[in-house]
Amino acid sequence: MRVAPATRALRWLARLPTGMPDMLVALGCVVLLWGGTAVYLSRQTAAAIAAALDHTERFSAAFAESVARRVDLIDSALLLLRDAHLLGRDDVDLALFTRGLTTGGPLFQFAYIGADGILIATNLRRTDLRLDLSDRAHFRVHADNPGQDELFVSLPLIGRASGKASIQFSRRVVGPEGGFRGVVVASISPAFLTSLHGEMGDGKGLLVLLGADGGLRARSPAAGQDAAVAAMTAAVEATPAGDFTRGDGQDLALLGSWRQVSRRPLAVAVALTGEEVLGGLQSGRRQVIGAAGAVSLALLLAGAALTVRRHRLARSRRDLAASREALADAVEGVSQGILMTDGDGRVQVANRRAAELLGLPEAAVRDRPTLRALSQMQFAAGEFGPAFPTLEAFEAFSRTEWQDLGRDHAYERKRPDGTVLEVRTHALPSGGAVRTYTDVTERHLVEEQARHFALHDPLTGLPNRALMGERLALAVTRGVCAVLFLDLDRFKLVNDLHGHEAGDRLLVEVAIRLRAVLRAGDTLARLGGDEFAILLPQGGLPMAATVARRAIELLQDPFELDGRRFSIGVSIGIALHPRHGTTPAALLCAADTAMYAAKRSGRNTFMVYDEHMERDAAEQRGLERDLLEALANRQFHLVYQPVCDTGSGEVMSFEALIRWHHPVRGAVPPSHFIPVAEQAGMILPIGAWVLETACVEAASWPRPVRVAVNMSPPQFLQLDLCDQVRRALDRAGLPPGRLDIEVTEGLMLGDEEVVLNNMVGLRAMGVRISLDDFGTGHSSLSYLRRFPFDRIKIDRSFVQNLGGDVEARAIVHSVLSLGRSLKLDIVAEGVETDLQLRELRILRCRLVQGYLLGRPMPLAAAQSLLQATSEPAGAARSVGSPTAA
């Protein structure tokens, strides 16, 4: 047992020989007393400093671990966001993507900056202001260092998009060819240290987060103690980890500990001022000195020294207990499970969270067990699952944590209840270790959701182009497979007329129907817009053709949405591996080419890839370019074919027909370029030009006969069609009664409500509506009942067989009878012989059109014909003459 200086002094006095001068005895006692007091206070100060350094070492380790975990989560989100961009998703919805990461807490923003430094997307606000961030350090470090791909942590700054003080975490984004494509950024408030500071228990001390460049990133508290911050910065720049003190003994100014954040360009430091470390000792020190002085004066040194010692010892024990309690509170307050072991693998410190995450009773970790004993309890409870069938297998894996004491070790495992634990072990120089257990289940869910978002279409839930590419690449390695490329027919019309919301709903319904053609192992993907693809692993041409026919059959039935009927179709191209390509890109390209060939052949069909399709596709692309130039350079013109009275031969009206004379191609037939214009989306401007030009030129005719203009379904289904027609008539000065609009049966496959509204609106203006090519469809009679037509035109296929075909004569006779009963005008098309004309006169068909009566002619010829036939007798002589046109 240690003997106090005062007690030794009393024993020494008892042994002194008698007769010694009292002053010498008094002086000796005073010297012994003050010497013992000085030694005692020095040891108390040293103990307080040692306890404080131990406290800062433990908290800096916990602080570094917590920062590493948070930075890992931020970096994981940045990498996922960058990967989503690399998969071709430039339109990543950042608000949806980061909803689970930025709800509350210090992480408040994710952003994507383009290669030019312009802000492209942020989850906080719209980016239409086009903020220029090219001068920001977190952009420049990636733009100026093309060979680096490291996480960068900026100095604190005021964000231009958020307006908040923030630290920027950023990652470089590169394109498929390795070129710089921009930067993804996460913004975190520097105040995130405040919550960590609270975990110290009493809120004392200073926390500092520094970058690899020595720059200050964050501090808590945010103000004051600048000298302490400078001292901590200098210490961190000197060595990667350690302790530091400024001053000594009662002159102590500052002490603390620092360490590097694992695998990150960051360091953390924790410091206490001398006042915080030694403030609790000052009153006791004064009491010791006062007691020593009193004993010196009263010669009661021994009793006073003993009393002071006992008082100081109790105070020291209380301070030590308070320090341990504060440390225990800090350990218990963190969200991670913490175990600290000694060199023998025995648990020295543990919190309740560790027992909870390990699935063990709290008492099991409080009784200072060994790690092996804890592993045995976990194995008996079935915690390790099939990954470690025996305890020895887990211990062999766990031993890798101790092979290199200078390296942190981390791994993840999934508990039977689905919880995912991240286990990190930090080796201590003493031979022990600090092990943390973090519940990362939510992060795994976010990563899974992000991967699903990156590989699936958000509208239909189908695999997207990226996932289809992965599965197609796998199928190619396994042998024969088939790819079907699907493009919806007339879908653009739905978007144009009813908006993208209706189009999106229709795409969802299409996906539902197409799933019905799949077998187990097949893949249906949405490639974008109205394009889909089907992968048939181990499938040949017969199977692909069967699936294509089934898809066409399912999609040709009308769709019902909110009481409206939408009729679309699908064109399908088929490519086979390895016949048509040996790579995913080649197969998709071949199937795409075959799909366009199917569209050119009439749509709502399928075709198998053939090499000549490439030439046809190139020809079509060239024709599309020429059509754009023709529209811009006014290369189109109109010709007019007369409709005549069979009795008098009088010209009753003209049909306006578009013609195109290309400078190189020469005369291009309408049957060749009109389908291309419809497919390329140019039919609306071309149709508008035909309407405007026909009205203007008809207004110049010498007689007020009607002019008929053909309208395609996309043009007639425009919601503002009546306004367009009214403007064209007003500009031309043409009365509405002189305009006929001809439509085909295909129009009725669109939105019947829009068709009916436009017909009613046009007839109210005085414009007449004609049904062209009557008799060629399956539902023509029902159309006459539902829609208000003024005229029907008998298709030329029936007229051509008149005179030799009894059935054709019966059909024409029936149509004429039907028209008379419905009070409709009837025009017979395609009259080319005198025999056909005589048959039509016998059947009392009043209006006829065809080459016998007049070929399509330029405007000047039509004007001359009208002038020449102003007298019916003269006109009658031209009817029936093959040379009349």
**Comparing C-alpha atoms, which of 370, 419, 357 is closest to residue 398?**
370
Residue 168 lies in a domain: no
Mean pLDDT of 619-646: 86
| Boundary of a domain, candidates 610, 636, 655 | 610
Quick one: average pLDDT of 611-631? 78
The verdict on residue 633 lying in a domain is yes
Residue 164 belongs to some domain of the structure? no
Q: Residue 175: which pLDDT band, with cuts at 50, 70 and 90?
A: confident
Taking residues 643-648, report their average pLDDT: 90
CB 422 within 8 A of CB 437: yes
Number of domains into which the chain is organized: 4
Report the candidate in 715, 711, 679 with the shortest Cα–Cα distance to residue 601: 679
Same domain, 46 and 100: yes
Residue 99, in any domain of the structure: yes
d(CA 552, CA 568): 10
pLDDT of residue 867: 87
Please count the CA atoms within 13 angstroms of the CA of 18 that sit on its side-chain side. 0
What is the number of other CB atoms lying within 10 angstroms of the CB of residue 307? Answer: 15
Tokens of 42: 């020095």
**Mean local confidence (pLDDT), 319-335:** 59
Q: What's the whole-number average pLDDT of the chain?
A: 80
Of 112 and 784, which is predicted with more confidence?
112
Q: What SS3 class is residue 711?
A: coil
pLDDT of residue 326: 55
Mean pLDDT of 274-281: 74
CA dihedral 836, 838, 844, 849 (to 10 degrees): 50
Whether residue 670 is found in the same domain as residue 753 = yes
Residue 727 in any domain: the answer is yes
Residue 883 has pLDDT above 60, yes or no: no
Per-residue pLDDT of 133-152, as tens digits, reads 889 988 998 998 887 888 99
Query: Which residue has 């599309």 as its token pair?
Result: 624
614: CB partners within 8 A, 6+ apart? 593
pLDDT in tens, 233-266: 777 777 778 887 877 767 777 888 888 888 888 8
The answer to whether residue 184 sits within a structural domain is no
Q: Given this model, what pLDDT does residue 774 score? A: 80
CA distance from start to end of the chain: 135
The pair of three-digit structure tokens given for residue 355, joined into one six-digit string: 């027992």
Q: Are residues 417 and 544 in the same domain?
A: no
The C-alpha angle 235, 230, 54, rounded to 5 degrees, equals 50
Assess whether 694 and 598 both reside in one domain: no
Average pLDDT of span 538-558: 91
Is pLDDT above 50 for 300?
no
> 289, 310, 334 — which closes off a domain?
334
- Pair (9, 44) in one structural domain: yes
Angle, vertex CA 654, rays to CA 629 and CA 883, nearest 5? 100
Q: How confident is the model at residue 11 (pLDDT cuts 50, 70, 90)?
A: low
pTM (2 d.p.)? 0.45
Q: Is 719 inside a domain boundary?
A: yes
Residue 407 pLDDT grade (very low, low, confident, very high; cuts 50, 70, 90): low
CA angle 438, 441, 445 (to 5 degrees): 145
pLDDT for residue 750: 59
For 154, other C-beta atoms within 10 Å of its C-beta total 20
Same domain, 224 and 318: yes
Instruction: Name residue, tokens 């130039």.
Output: 629
Q: What pLDDT was estimated at residue 870?
A: 64
Residue 872 sits in a domain whose CATH number is 3.20.20.450
- Residues contacting residue 358 through CB under 8 Å, at least 6 positions apart: 337, 365, 374, 378, 383, 437
The pLDDT of residue 162 is 78
Locus of tokens 């974008």: 528
Integer Cα distance of 351 and 604 in angstroms: 68
Gap between the Cα atoms of 213 and 746, Å rounded: 71
Mean pLDDT over 622-646 rounds to 87
Peptide bond into 788 cis (omega under 30): no
CA distance 100 to 83: 18
Last residue of a domain, one of 407, 422, 445: 445
Q: Which pLDDT score is estimated for 642?
A: 96
Q: What percent of the chain has pLDDT over 70?
A: 79
Pair (72, 209) in one structural domain: yes
- Does the pLDDT at position 880 exceed 50? no
For 363-382, letters b (16+ CB in 10 Å) and e give ebbeeebebeebbebbbeee
Q: Which of 182-191, 643-652, 801-810, 860-869 has the lowest mean pLDDT?
A: 801-810
CATH of the domain at 562: 3.30.70.270
Q: Do the domain assignments include residue 320? A: yes
Same domain, 322 and 427: no
Report which of residues 649 and 694 the model is more confident about: 694
Q: Check pLDDT > 60 for residue 10.
A: no
Q: What burial class does residue 182 get, using C-beta atoms within 10 Å of its C-beta: 0-12 exposed, 13-18 middle, 19+ buried?
A: buried
CA distances from 521 to 110, 454, 475, 684, 885 (A): 37, 21, 10, 43, 64
The stretches of 438-540 forming alpha helices (DSSP H) are 441-455, 465-478, 491-515
- Most confident segment among 305-319, 325-339, 816-830: 816-830
What's residue 471's pLDDT? 92
Q: Which pLDDT band, with edges at 50, 70 and 90, does 877 fall under?
A: very low
Tens digit of each residue's pLDDT (9 = 90 or more) over 348-374: 787 888 777 777 777 767 777 877 777
Distances (CA, A) of 35 to 42, 325, 347: 11, 34, 42
How much is the pLDDT for 801?
A: 83
Residues 580 and 638 reside in one and the same domain: no
630 in the same domain as 574 = no
Answer for the pair 673, 682: CB distance below 8 angstroms, yes or no: no
Q: Are residues 733 and 867 in the same domain?
A: yes
Query: What percentage of the chain reaches a pLDDT higher than 90?
Result: 26
- pLDDT beyond 70 at 197: no
pLDDT of residue 325: 61
Give me the domain span that covers residue 323: 1-106+189-334
* Structure tokens that stand for 805 in this block: 């075909």
Whether the per-residue pLDDT at 303 is higher than 90: the answer is no
Q: Give the model's pLDDT for residue 2.
A: 54
User: What pLDDT was estimated at residue 184?
Assistant: 92
Per the model's pLDDT, the better-predicted residue between 357 and 206 turns out to be 206
Same domain, 5 and 59: yes
